A and B are shown apart, each in its own frame.
Chain A
Amino acid sequence: MDNQFPYLSAVLLTPALGMLVILFLPHRSTRAVRWVSLASAGLCLGLTLRLYQIYDQGAAGLQFVERVPWVESLGIFWHLGVDGISLPLVLLTSIVFFTGVWTMWELSHRVKEFFALMLLMIVGVYGVFLSLDLFFLFVWYDVSLFPMYPLIAIWGSTRKEYGALKLTLYLLAGSALVLPGILYVYFQSGLFTFDLVQIAQAGLAPDVQYLGFFLFLFGFGVLAGLWPFHTWSPVGHVAAPTAVSMIHAGVLMKLGAYGVLRVGMYLCPQGLVEWSPLFALLATAGIVYGALVGLAQTDLKYVIGYSSVSHMGLVSLGLATMTAGGISGSVFQMFAHGIMTALFFSSVGHVYDRTHTKLIPEMGGMAKVMPRASFFFILAALAGIGVPCLASFWAELLVFINGYRAYPVLGVAAVLGLVVSALFMLRVVQKTFYGERNERHGQAPDMTLAMTLPRAMLAATILLFGLAPRLALDLINTATTPLAGMFR
């Protein structure tokens, strides 16, 4: 395995290279900027698919590992690797990145800056998913957060400065808990290394795990939309431009859950055991609460924002079950929700671009006006409700089964959330897309074929993984089964 092509560095550096190229392009050549972004996204997608194909499921564990000393005296290494948990999330990032760039093709305002920042954000996302070194993981984490501020404040809508500020401050407050957590673990482990694998193997003292997990849970949990630290998410989603919402809700929120899983649960398994009842309680509260608040929203993007709160609650509940099935369900839910919510935002983005409104009462009958956009939205809504044979169903199934096994009362409460989420999704579908055509938007054009394709890619992914869940779950199981053994 030593002399093979450094796939992971290639995935991580391709968008960085793309960004550099864009920075050196003249302002006016927007075409070139778009093509460079799309090319780097396509390259990443191709590399990821190749990775997915050659990952050895029989051997399992971390693969494609690259480990190069960076600052050896401090124990910092350029240490990359993927396993069954991070690989599906890397695939998710590549798909959302590619389709996100494509849906922003028609952007005309400050194109160069937009794509440069977006690529920078993606570098950070890949970095978090691929890094096995706590120092780099933290650096990439912040790299992925900072570009959000200009991206929302410049290209956003609806109270964009407020949304951008709130989101950025909130997430930085979260990382202000993560950094002390990392340093605490770094010093308490006595190894003076940031290497995640080494620290996990050596193990930490129980009281260190207790405090450490607390810091990681709430530090990363903010980004995962953990209740009650979720209010930045709807506000931020509403303000952000389409592709940023797609990447943000689709991928960035998963960084939070991934951080809890990769840093918190790997390093502090006993901490999870101690904190799991609280974790599960907050998760369940998020599931039910998000769905009920979603019922009362009148802005399409707010609705999706609150559905994200509810669905990310499922991710957290899965993690809190401490069982192989629950964690598998949780990882699969991250993947499925990422694709689904990207599809949501990309179809709402189209509706908003053409009608200049996202208020539900101002619409109606959109299925007649924009059949394609409506189809994609309705498909995403059905996936969100947990209709079988769409990807999220399997994830929800696993989370509910194991949630009920671990916490019977909370499990039942979370299952009740299913009815509410069905009610609120179908209500939105009915009010927005069904009914008599609203004459105000009667002439709004539907998606062109070129703009349909990225959405179709997302829809096809939902269907593919819904019909054949083993494509992802067999891989995820290889990583979660050994992990669940740590919580005894």
Chain B
Amino acid sequence: MTPAAPNDYVLGLALLTMGLPLLAFFLVFFLTRRSVGLSCFISLACSAVPLLCAWSLLLGHWRMPVPLLWEVVWMSSGGATATFGFLLDPLSLLMLTIVTSISFLVQVYSLGYMAGDPGKGKYYAFLSLFAWSMISLVVASGLLQLYIFWELVGLSSYLLIGFWHHKFSASEAGKKAFVMTRLGDLGFFLGIIVILLHLGDLSILGLNQNAALKLGPGLLTASALLIFCGVVGKSAQFPLLTWLPDAMEGPTPVSALLHSATMVAAGVYLVSRIFPFYQASPEALAVVLAIGAVTMLLSSTMAMVARDIKQVWAYSTVSQLGFMLMGLGAGGYFAGVFHLTTHAAFKALLFLCSGVFIHHFGTNDFFVMSRSGARGLKAPMICLSVAGAALSGVWPLAGFFSKESVMGVLAGLSNPLWLVVGLLGAAMTAYYTFRLLFVMWRPCESAEDPLHGGGHGEHAAWAYWVMVLPLIALAVFTVFLGWGGRGLEAFLRWHQEGVAEAHHGWLVWASVLVVASGVGLAWLEFGRAGAAQAGFLSHLPALERLFARRWYLDDLYRLLLDYVVYGFFSRLFTINDRRVVDGGIDGFCRGTAGAGWLLSFLQSGLLQFNLFSMVLVIALVGLYFLLV
């Protein structure tokens, strides 16, 4: 499978896709950010063109014989070479289309959401920076390029989470996201170094083809696990999962774009990008599976007690990412990627819908929204319900098909435990999603006109509609994407003949049953007339507390940071620096000065004393020579 060089037309399209967002960033950030209208226009134009290019590339290469590769040397020194370029194959084209589509829709949506914000120009600059980094990550031809843009995506995430940096919680969340993902990236970075030193080739194609042959099994597993550390950080997997819920401090469109649909999916994308490499190491795949499973369970429990609408979706993002990794870890390449695709559509939709409510009611608490009359906003409410149903895996929405395909892979494993975990996760997902939906559906108690909520509801109607239009586009995808599964599978597996993943007839009924039980429980507690509006967990306060405090993971990190990093190393080293290292030097200097002071007494200036010293010294020297 040697790659071909792209023709001029494809090269042009690809370079436009990769270059325009960067251009937009520089233009907007350094020149036009004071004039909001112009900034929005530049940024939108520079995301619309890549959108068209990406779709045209995808459709133009629906049956592509070989991958297309184009690269230039970015940096080269002493045997280490970083290339910059693109590798177009079905996977990267699919992801490119997802990224550009959602990025464009979010930029449109933000016109309304960020209306009136003084920093709107800067906001669009950061969105363009993100689009550039994410696109270049997706099409990266080599692991080093991927890593570089992986870090840049982290930077844009930092800037966008902390966009309202006058709020302490926002700047704190941005810092936390950056440092925690950086912790995972260390592993990624070391993994790259190990591969570079032992394989000497960082190109993705080379890695997928040769790694298994040239690296020994030990090194292969070690490097695969090191790279997986990066995935754990970026895709917020256990144990580095707590930064993602905090990242919801950013503006809601940012949460939709970065922290659900695209950026956090980059981790899953990385595993699928070098999937043959992972497949060569069953141990590494087992770890991927286990981490995905633990994450899915943990974060689902957290979502069951959250009252903040964005928190619920954040936990659910974490758990769905874990679910994708379970699919990949079980060997289901297509299943993982398919779920990533549908998840991008319905999770972006969930966030954008929630954004309309948050914008309108000025609160994140969905119980309060419901009391203020959330039902009144018809279009967002319908979209939210569709997306929520898709998330729970209700037929015939997109989520149903992709979940089925992951479940099918899990059922193929010899150990039934993984399937049980997957079904349990699905049940919890259905429960917490419908818990939220039932609450939001409740009829309004107060007579207040819902169209005048407590938030930015006063904004013009155009702001509302400009936010609703992207919802409708995403809703269309959410409804119909699932039916394209077969076609997508053929597209993604163009080079492997007939390796369709097994389907189990009974499995469909099992998962329908599981989802139905989750929905039913939610209905009993929240939906039916006269329901208590309290989950079964409120009877188990210890458990509820455990879930609400995120299994005490954050407290653990806080302790480690306060007592080990700050309290021990930092403090000890600082004392050492002031007292021992610097104090030692000062002491030495004082000693020198003191010795000079002592010796100064010898210089009494008295002639007889000088003569006496002279005679004494000569006598001692004479004595020495006499004796020796």
Contacts and interface: CB of A to CB of B under 8 A. Distances in A.
Interface of A: 166, 169-170, 228, 230-231, 235, 289, 292-293, 295-297, 323-329, 365, 367-368, 382, 387-389, 393-394, 397-398, 400-402, 404-405, 411-412, 415-416, 418-420, 422-423, 426-427, 430, 433-437, 469-470, 473-474, 476-477, 480-481, 484
A419 B182 contact: yes
B74 to A, nearest CB: 7
Contacts of A412: 190
Majority-rule SS of A interface residues: helix
Interface string B164-187: 011010011011001100110010
Interface string B58-96: 000000000000000111111110100000000000000
A411 B197 CA distance: 13
Given A324-B77, A402-B78, A388 B151 contact: yes
B78 A422 contact: no
A295 B565 contact: yes
A18 to B, nearest CB: 33
B334 interface: no
A404 to B, nearest CB: 5
A401 B582 contact: no
A419 B189 contact: no
Given A387-B155, A419-B179, A292 B78 contact: no
Interface string B556-582: 000000000110011101100100011
A69 B318 CA distance: 73
Interface residues of B, number: 45
A427 B561 CA distance: 13
B566 A422 contact: no
B15 interface: no
Given A419-B179, A436-B166, A470-B75, 4 more contacts: A169-B589, A295-B570, A325-B79, A401-B197
A404 B186 contact: no
A228 B581 contact: yes
B74 A326 contact: no
A426 B178 contact: yes
A323 B152 contact: no
A435 B165 contact: yes
Contact of B75 (A235, A368, A394): A394
A325 B77 contact: yes
A289 B573 contact: yes
B171 A404 contact: no
Residue among B165, B196, B577 with max Cβ neighbours from chain A (10 Å): B577
Contact of B166 (A293, A398, A434): A434
Nearest to A426: B175
Interface string B121-158: 00000000000000000000000000011011001001
The 5 tightest CB contacts between A and B, nearest first, are: A325-B78, A324-B78, A434-B171, A434-B165, A231-B582
Given A295-B565, A328-B77, A400-B193, A435 B168 contact: yes
A388 B166 contact: no
A231 B171 contact: no
Interface string B497-526: 000000000000000000000000000000
Contacts of A427: 175
B359 to A, nearest CB: 24
Contact of A435 (B171, B189, B581): B171
A435 B165 CA distance: 6
A231 B77 contact: no
A474 B78 CA distance: 11
Given A231-B577, A367-B165, A419-B182, A388 B152 contact: yes
